[in-house]
Structure 1
Amino acid sequence: MNEEKIGNEQKIRRPRQADIATLAGVSVSTVSRVLANEPGISDTVRRQILKVAAEHGYPVKSATEAVAGGLALIASDGVTGGLSVFYEAIVDGLRAGAAEAGMPFEIRMVREDRTTPDAVRDYMRAASAEGLFLVGIDPNEMLRAWLLDGMTPAVLVNGTDPMMQLDGVSPANFFGAYQATSRLMKAGHRRILHLSGSHRHTIRERIRGFEAAIAAVSGAEGRFVDLALQGSASGEAHERTAAILAENAGFTAAFCMNDFIAVGVLEAVTEAGLRVPEDFAIVGFDDLPCALMTNPQLSTMRVDRAALGREAISLMLSRFRNRTAPARHICQAVIPVPGGTVPNAETRE
């Protein structure tokens, strides 16, 4: 559709976003995001779309129009129990995305077992927040019911809703775990440990990914080692791995829920006199700074944590615009990071 034709049709109808997209040479989704003042679009593209829209009479939301505020509740048990570096990057992404969108944004650490509807309502009122980000928190049934009944915009950050009622963003936990386990099997290992907790939906997806990868290879055997994760994750992993190695059960590799756990496994394996990766191979998850400090350097799976925060802001902006739309869940890809705890053959994948 050329510009002259659009000009004639404006006499009888308002131009559509598809018309603006054609004239600006971009996709309709890009036009939609710019007109909604969503983040993640370059200034050059944004200015071009707004210019075309203005020239053809499309009503444009003022960039200075107030955006509803958001409050992020983050599980204090997680951020003070060793995972602060993981959540720090997520919060950075949330803050950056909120700033780009002009969204007033506050964050508060809370005990997950105290996220009652009354408490959350008070937190949101104090922050003048219309939207709620639950960071590392799986809502209990009372909180879930309150959010849904009141149609409160809510996004699970590093979380997923198995009932598909709440928006969420998370790493691709199932496929990341599947690939991590496959890395070990491609290196020739067939008896593999998986050290993990089972306390969150996202973590259970990693367990499912591990089990699926084991089931896909004839003769492979996996053993799930359920960790309590009440104190030091590395310390508990060290203790459990040492006990398993003492059984002489023939396990030669481990996929670990996160890099802290992998550090404990590596210490136990080394103390047992085994060579890594020749006798025992290890893959972690999250690509935390400690992965660079082990000897040999840890093979792990990278999670773009800042991207999780930015995507959560995008989901919230969409929810502000339409509170009755079906829930959406965004999965961020998890990227293998080569290291020295799996044979070097993995770098050729």
Structure 2
Amino acid sequence: MPRREPEKSVTVQDVARQAGVSAATVSRTISTPEVVSEQTRDLVLEAIQHTGYRVNQAARNLRKKRSGAVLVLVPNLGNPFFSQILASLNATFSNGGYSVLISDSNVQESPGRQVVDYLLDGRVDGVVCLDGSLTNDDLEQFRLNGLENRIVFACEWLQDAPYPSVRSNNREGAIMAVEHLYEFGHRKIAHITGPRGNVLTAARREGMLHARRELDLPLRDEWIIRGDFSVQSGWKSGDDILKMKERPTAVFCASDMVALGLIARLNAAGLSVPQDMSVVGFDDIELAAFSLPSLTTIRQDRSALGEQAAGQLLKRLENDGELSAACEIKTIDVTLISRDSCSAPVANPT
């Protein structure tokens, strides 16, 4: 078999000859297209397509003193909630010329230290942080190393910290959930929270308590159960509910995974959802529509969360991180998705 000759790589000079312009003009068109005329851009782009020229991204990044990558810090990669956010982040950064590195902060001894190391070592140009559990020591390290303008928070955030963030309207979503159960006739409504110290836990609990006050609903201490957003905590909370002398007729769960674990435990005990107990989740992960029964939940626009967080970081990187005054907080609306896990209570106490 004859040896296949290696294909000759196409150079900037080949593109320049095809377009009838100088190599310098080709380089300017690729790196700063706004400085050349529309006619020249069209000529160069047509020549690139014709010749099959590919930009040497590594060399381009080296000239610009950037890595061409961003780090996404995720608190639990095993949680299906993050799938759409990560897909949206990846698509938006890819369109902006950046690759994405993903790190699970649950398996890092010091995720804040990792962020500092990645940025200072030049392995990434910026960070999208989906984890709101970083410490004050982490924040101090960001400040001391001048890194505040290269970090954007999404989903979770740091309370009272000067960082831009993109988040869902968690408080309003909790109000919607309680009001939905109230409209079905429920008055005995329990709540399974997220983990202690988490900003999402606090926002959703605040919304739940606000709705209770507005609707003059009874509240027993045992009806607020500590969870951690996991399916296991939903199952365990089901154990707690089954032991109660006065059970609630409905439960608002701080996440869909908690709700699915709760429903599984109630089913295992011979109870029926929603006939014996109604359940509402939060997130609208893919499984919510296919569970039995299908889960009523509060939908977060996860694609928008990822897209807007990436957009915020790209703006900062385009300005070399010089946006210290622009700590913008974007809040994205949530939607109630009504499915089969809610119905009127069998007995409707007043």
1:155 counterpart residue number: 152
Corresponding position: 1:318 with 2:299: no
Match of 2:98 among 99, 103, 117: 103
**Whole-Å separation in 1 of the counterparts to 2:287 and 2:183:** 25
Change (3 A) 1:106 1:269: closer
Change (3 A) 1:234 1:220: same
Shift of 1:175: 0.9
Partner SS state of residue 284, structure 1: strand
Partner SS state of residue 79, structure 1: coil
Q: What amino acid is aligned across from residue 306 of structure 1 in structure 2?
A: S
Q: What amino acid is aligned across from residue 281 of structure 1 in structure 2?
A: S
Shift of 1:171: 1.6
1:8 counterpart residue number: none
| Cα deviation digits, residues 269-300 of structure 1 (max 9, x gap) | 33444443233111011111221232221111
Match of 1:114 among 100, 110, 114: 110
| Cα deviation digits, residues 91-111 of structure 1 (max 9, x gap) | 111111112222344333343
**Whole-Å separation in 2 of the counterparts to 1:187 and 1:236:** 26
Q: What amino acid is aligned across from residue 71 of structure 1 in structure 2?
A: V
Matches within 5 A, 1:185-264: 185-197=182-194, 198-221=196-219, 223-227=223-227, 233-264=230-261
Change (3 A) 1:274 1:105: closer
**Whole-Å separation in 1 of the counterparts to 2:264 and 2:83:** 26
2:166 counterpart residue number: 169
**Whole-Å separation in 1 of the counterparts to 2:239 and 2:99:** 49
Q: Is the CA contact 2:112–2:134 (under 8 Å) kept in the aligned structure 1? A: no
Partner SS state of residue 279, structure 1: coil
Shift of 1:187: 1.2
Matches within 5 A, 1:286-305: 286-305=283-302
Structure number with bigger Rg: 2
Match of 2:76 among 78, 82, 98: 78
**Whole-Å separation in 1 of the counterparts to 2:232 and 2:124:** 40
Change (3 A) 1:142 1:87: same
Q: What amino acid is aligned across from residue 129 of structure 1 in structure 2?
A: V
Shift of 1:143: 1.5
The total of aligned residue pairs comes to 278
Shift of 1:138: 3.0
CA RMSD of aligned residues (A): 2.9
Q: Is the CA contact 1:72–1:135 (under 8 Å) kept in the aligned structure 2? A: no
**Whole-Å separation in 1 of the counterparts to 2:153 and 2:65:** 20
| Cα deviation digits, residues 278-335 of structure 1 (max 9, x gap) | 3311101111122123222111111221221111111113333342214111122211
**Whole-Å separation in 2 of the counterparts to 1:67 and 1:343:** 59
Shift of 1:238: 2.1
1:31 counterpart residue number: none
Corresponding position: 1:341 with 2:326: no
**Whole-Å separation in 2 of the counterparts to 1:217 and 1:224:** 17
**Whole-Å separation in 2 of the counterparts to 1:290 and 1:336:** 16
**Whole-Å separation in 2 of the counterparts to 1:265 and 1:211:** 21
TM-score between the two structures when normalised by the length of structure 1: 0.71
**Whole-Å separation in 2 of the counterparts to 1:247 and 1:339:** 27
2:24 counterpart residue number: none
**Whole-Å separation in 2 of the counterparts to 1:285 and 1:254:** 12
Q: What amino acid is aligned across from residue 330 of structure 1 in structure 2?
A: K
Change (3 A) 1:172 1:221: same
Corresponding position: 1:123 with 2:122: no
TM-score between the two structures when normalised by the length of structure 2: 0.71
Change (3 A) 1:297 1:165: same
2:55 counterpart residue number: none
Q: What amino acid is aligned across from residue 254 of structure 2 in structure 1?
A: M
Task: Structure 2: give runs of 5+ residues left out of the alignment.
Answer: 1-33, 42-59, 345-350
Q: Is the CA contact 1:164–1:327 (under 8 Å) kept in the aligned structure 2? A: no
Q: Is the CA contact 1:302–1:335 (under 8 Å) kept in the aligned structure 2? A: yes
Q: Is the CA contact 2:72–2:128 (under 8 Å) kept in the aligned structure 1? A: yes
**Whole-Å separation in 2 of the counterparts to 1:67 and 1:167:** 24
| Cα deviation digits, residues 239-290 of structure 1 (max 9, x gap) | 3223323323141100111111111222333344444323311101111122
Task: Structure 1: give runs of 5+ residues left out of the alignment.
Answer: 1-46, 55-63, 345-349
**Whole-Å separation in 1 of the counterparts to 2:273 and 2:228:** 26
| Cα deviation digits, residues 10-55 of structure 1 (max 9, x gap) | xxxxxxxxxxxxxxxxxxxxxxxxxxxxxxxxxxxxx9xx97xx9x
